[in-house]
Amino acid sequence: MNYLFPLIAILIWAGNTVVTKMSAGAIFPAEIGFYRWLLAGLLFTPFLLPQVWRNRAAIRPHLGKVFVLGVLGMAIYQSLAYFAASITSATNMGIILSLMPLMSLALSIAWLGQRLSYGALLGAIVSFFGVLEVVSAGQPGTLLHQGLNSGDLMMLVATLAYALYSFLLKKWQLRLPPLQLLYLQVLVAILVLLPLFVLSPKTGLNGHNFGLVLYAGLLASMVAPRVWMQAVHRLGPSRTTLFFNLLPVVTAVIAAVVLDEQLASYHLVGGLLTLVGVLLAERWTTPVRRTVTTPRP
């Protein structure tokens, strides 16, 4: 039963990648990015605002860090994904996003003094070639002449932003109730995205896009984080993180069924290489050298 919690979260987030792709052409990226967090904020407020107000003395010293987390994890990551969706496929987005745990691990090695392992080193190389296979559509040589698809590039930057978000969560270890921390980050996203929303052209909410906003704001922004927190509580962070590796597979299946995206051989090869690389980094933890490094401040 405990395994249902991470599986539900991954299913919702994979579905959200497909919803993000479906939003292209149905609603402007700045609109859905803002509406998503506005809806989550409105639904959270009656329950969490009183708790946040009572806990304001404990929250106040962390407001700067909460702001950074909200900008990285809520505003930049998802906004770039919405902009990328009009240029690249949901399958590509899912495979690129699967690099997030490896990027977060690399940041921990660089700035937290975590020892470099053979798995991290080999996994980074394998995953690099996996993503290279996907973003080049099976022809890596073409990247030398044409460069990256701008949608794939935006998705790489979005994934790096989310990896940095995950790294900072681990580094800072904010002693705040998880739901209150999530709610505060949602408020930051609303504040930061408001100017972009105001300046952006508007499609407006209608029958074609309202369901997309509802899915993103309710399921992906509220339900999925809540069940993921439950998974971490019941299974521990290490075991729960392993389920994130299912994201590209589930995304590809949903995209094939809902969007009729065709799975090419380079998707299968690149996705498999990326997954193997991440698993190597997570499971083969033998350090490259035995010397103990001093954590950086």
| Predicted local confidence at residue 214, as pLDDT | 96
Cα distance between residue 198 and residue 111, in whole Å: 37
Residue closest to 6 by CA, chosen among 250, 271, 280, 268: 250
**3-state class of 144 per DSSP?**
helix
Encode 151-181 in three state secondary structure: HHHHHHHHHHHHHHHHHHHHHHCCCCCHHHH
How would you write the pLDDT of the chain (297 residues) with one tens digit per residue?
788 998 999 999 999 999 999 999 899 999 999 999 999 999 999 999 999 999 999 999 999 999 999 999 999 999 999 999 989 889 889 888 888 888 888 888 888 777 878 888 888 888 888 888 887 877 877 766 666 688 889 999 999 999 999 889 888 989 899 999 999 999 999 999 999 999 999 999 999 999 999 999 999 999 999 898 888 888 877 677 777 878 888 898 899 899 998 888 888 888 888 888 888 887 888 888 654 444 444
Residue closest to 259 by CA, chosen among 203, 212, 205: 212
pLDDT per position as a tens digit, 161-220: 999 998 898 889 898 999 999 999 999 999 999 999 999 999 999 999 999 999 999 999
Q: Which residues 6+ apart lie within 8 Å of 99 measured at CB?
A: 127, 131, 156, 159, 163, 274, 278
| Predicted local confidence at residue 210, as pLDDT | 95
| Predicted local confidence at residue 144, as pLDDT | 63
| Predicted local confidence at residue 292, as pLDDT | 43
Amino acid identity at 199: L
| Predicted local confidence at residue 102, as pLDDT | 84
Quick one: DSSP state of residue 244?
A: G
Q: Which residues 6+ apart lie within 8 Å of 164 measured at CB?
A: 72, 103, 104, 107
| Predicted local confidence at residue 130, as pLDDT | 84
